[in-house]
């Protein structure tokens, strides 16, 4: 999918906001494409759960994550943004290698987090910038339109102080280092979103579904947000419905309310994707 990165970048350059949902396997990726979404993203948590592993503990490897992103891209035909946590490497060089391998398999973009998975806190900003810069260098050397997102985890990490102020400081630094998009997952108020949008000139991503203004896509668009991702939200909805139905079976009750129809699923999977041979 050599043109995937170009298509993905174009979504960030046009007027208005776009929603980038997060499937967890080939089937859900294809269903999202069938519904008309123009880009999708992986979710580290959703991937971990499909493998019966715990998220954000190192239980999912770089090979797992890159292979998974490739499967979603091939199944959907859509640009895929990779949730590759902190770059799957202890050193800037290893982070750069993650980006090189990601581009080689046709993934359109990814984010680089500044959370130290070992400590649960943030990398010092100078170290976070070295790691991000290694990713940016790899993207530039590839010659592709790969979209690199600078991601600040302050709202989700161990941190003492002013999280919004720290998020703005770091996202501005990532923008200066060449981020195409910036992202601070966990913002839920209008003031938080406005402060980040006003602080940078590059597109801003917000994760939807966390409550507050993050649930209001129209309000986020009015504030100037360019991209909405959903993280593990759809996977949680699906697994919640699965557990509810399965618990019913354990209690000797059959209740499949809201189940998709076989005709709907077979219809989606039977239709050729755009670009497929007839």
DSSP string, 131-182: HHHHHHHHHHHHTS--EEEEE--TTTSB--S-HHHHHHHHHHHHHHTT-SEE
Q: What are phi and psi of 20, to 5 degrees?
A: -120, 85
pLDDT for the residue 2: 57
Task: Find the length of the chain.
Answer: 278
Summarize the confidence of residues 173-177 as an average pLDDT: 98
Residue-level pLDDT at 90: 87
CA distance 159 to 153: 10
Nearest to 182 by CA among 236, 128, 144: 128
Q: Domain 4-231: give its CATH code.
A: 3.20.20.60
User: Residue 277 has what pLDDT?
Assistant: 56
pLDDT greater than 90 at residue 275: no
Query: How is the chain split into domains, by residue range?
Result: 4-231
Confidence tier at 74 by pLDDT (50, 70, 90): very high
How far apart CA 168 and CA 182 sit, in angstroms, is 10
Interatomic CA distance for residues 140 and 56, integer angstroms: 28
CA angle 98, 99, 105 (to 5 degrees): 95
pLDDT digits (tens, 9 = 90+) for 105-149: 999 999 999 999 889 999 999 999 999 999 999 999 999 999 999
- Mean pLDDT in residue range 60-83: 97
- The radius of gyration of the chain's CA atoms, rounded to the nearest angstrom, is 19
In this prediction, residue 273 carries a pLDDT of: 82
Mean pLDDT for 142-161 is 96
Q: Which two tokens stand for residue 15?
A: 């007027």
* Chain centre distance of CA 60: 16
pLDDT value of residue 278: 45
Mean pLDDT of 73-84: 97
């Amino acid at each position: 999918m050599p043109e995937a990165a170009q298509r993905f970048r174009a979504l960030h350059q046009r007027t208005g906001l776009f929603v980038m949902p997060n499937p967890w396997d080939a089937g859900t990726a294809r269903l999202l494409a069938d519904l008309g979404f123009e880009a999708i993203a992986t979710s580290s948590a959703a991937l971990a759960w499909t493998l019966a592993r715990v998220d954000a503990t190192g239980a999912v490897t770089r090979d797992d994550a890159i292979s998974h992103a490739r499967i979603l891209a091939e199944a959907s035909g859509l640009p895929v943004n990779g949730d590759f946590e902190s770059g799957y490497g202890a050193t800037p060089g290893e982070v750069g290698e993650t980006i090189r391998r990601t581009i080689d398999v046709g993934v359109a973009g990814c984010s680089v987090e500044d959370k130290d998975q070992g400590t649960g806190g943030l990398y010092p900003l100078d170290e976070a910038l070295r790691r991000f810069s290694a990713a940016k260098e790899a993207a530039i050397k590839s010659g592709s339109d790969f979209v690199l997102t600078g991601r600040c985890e302050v709202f989700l990490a161990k941190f003492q102080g002013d999280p919004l102020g720290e998020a703005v400081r770091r996202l501005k630094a990532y923008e200066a280092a060449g981020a195409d998009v910036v992202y601070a997952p966990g913002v839920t108020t209008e003031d938080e979103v406005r402060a980040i949008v006003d602080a940078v000139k590059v597109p801003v991503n917000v994760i939807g579904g966390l409550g507050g203004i993050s649930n209001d896509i129209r309000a986020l668009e009015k504030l100037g947000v360019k991209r909405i991702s959903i993280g593990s939200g759809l996977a949680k909805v699906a697994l919640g419905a699965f557990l509810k139905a399965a618990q019913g079976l354990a209690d000797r009750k059959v209740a499949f309310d809201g189940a998709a129809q076989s005709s709907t699923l077979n219809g989606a999977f039977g239709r050729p994707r755009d670009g497929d041979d007839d």
